[in-house]
Amino acid sequence: MSLFQPGRLGSLDLANRVVMAPLGRARSDVENRQPLPRTVTYYRQRASAGLIISEATHVAPESVSRPGGSAIHDAAHVQAWQPVTEAVHTAGGRIFQQLFHLGRKAHQSRVPDNALPVAPSAIAARGEVPTPEGPQPFPVPRALQREEIAQRVDDFRRAARHAGQAGFDGVEIHAANGYLIDQFLRSASNQREDDYGGSVENRARFLLEIVDAAVEELGTGRVGVRVSPHFTGDGSGDRDPAALYAYVADQLQARGIAYLHLIEPDSLPEPQRLAPDLRQRFKGALILAGEFDRAGALRAIEQGRADFIAFGRLFIANPDLVERLQRQAPLNAPDEASFYVGGEAGYIDYPFLSA
């Protein structure tokens, strides 16, 4: 098996095993969170990836942070995303939409009616959030009532339906990096005493209800899940991550979804890696992400550690990354100062090999 050979992912045949990881770039319309013409160009330029996973896309108005984020919670968003998917498909590519909710990492200054962000428990994230007045500490969120959780599941259901209507080949449920689903999963952020807290089974319930809703809308072959067992950057953490993610993998396997997308640094010492156990438990496609370089990606695929490798930063600066990796060509260096500033510079103006 080679990084550049075709691969099967759910119901799709992909041209290669290179995945463009989801990358928030803050380039959508600031007022309505719709993608703009430059977004069409950005994704079309990168369509040689076996699979593109879109930037994290908000499923509800209450999920808001920095300006320029994108959304998929109303009909106008559906219409605005259609040129993106059409451009990728015309260029021969495939694209999933990543769906997420910020949970406690939102801020009331950007939420309708200045409402507090919501979370499984009233525990603030560690760190700061951008606001109109500058960076502020994350607020203490409002703990969701038991009867309110179903509405958030329905938000993801609606978003999955909208993604299909917009022409996406599938959706990735973002259960990583300390956002709402991850907040339910982790014992450090979930101290509920009802059937959504406490045991591993209860803490995974919210994620699995969302997966079931997305599958009902799109089918098993068009749904994936991203997890980050090693993420602790905002005060996230779990008392037994190996047991938690083993259960999650078993449940996703029982549902037969397309793939599991695991963030696990390639540099992580072997004894700390969860991928070997999760790969035994989950028989669908496994995507690994974790700052892979060319050599590490080739090795991971050839050794059978993963079916696909996701690249993030390298795709920012190298729209033709697949060709560059194949030819062992020099890589453009990303301009970090332009990552989240809006506009076309540092977004759609990186040179191609043929330029």
Q: Helix, strand, or coil here: 83? A: helix
Residue 189 and residue 141 in contact, taking contact as beta carbons nearer than 8 Å: no
**Nearest to 20, CA basis, from 82, 75, 63, 84:** 84
R_g of the chain computed on alpha carbons:
19
> What is residue 352's three-state secondary structure?
coil
The full DSSP string for 118-186 is EESSS-PPSSEE--TTS-EEPPPPEEPPGGGHHHHHHHHHHHHHHHHHTT-SEEEEEE-TTSHHHHHH-
How many residues in the chain?
355
Q: Which amino acid type is present at position 62?
A: E
253, 284 contact by CB (below 8 A): yes
Active site residue 340: no
Spatial separation of the C-alpha atoms in residues 251 and 258, rounded to whole Å: 13
Q: Catalytic: which of 179, 245, 259, 350?
A: 179
Q: Cα separations (Å) of 82 from 30, 69, 79, 88?
A: 19, 17, 5, 10
HEC states along 202-266? HHCHHHHHHHHHHHHHHCHHHEEEEECCCCCCCCCCCCCHHHHHHHHHHHHHHHCCCEEEEECCC
The letter for the amino acid at 264 is: E
Reported as half-sphere exposure (CB side, CA atoms, 13 A), residue 131 has a value of: 18
- Where in the sequence numbering do the catalytic residues fall? 179
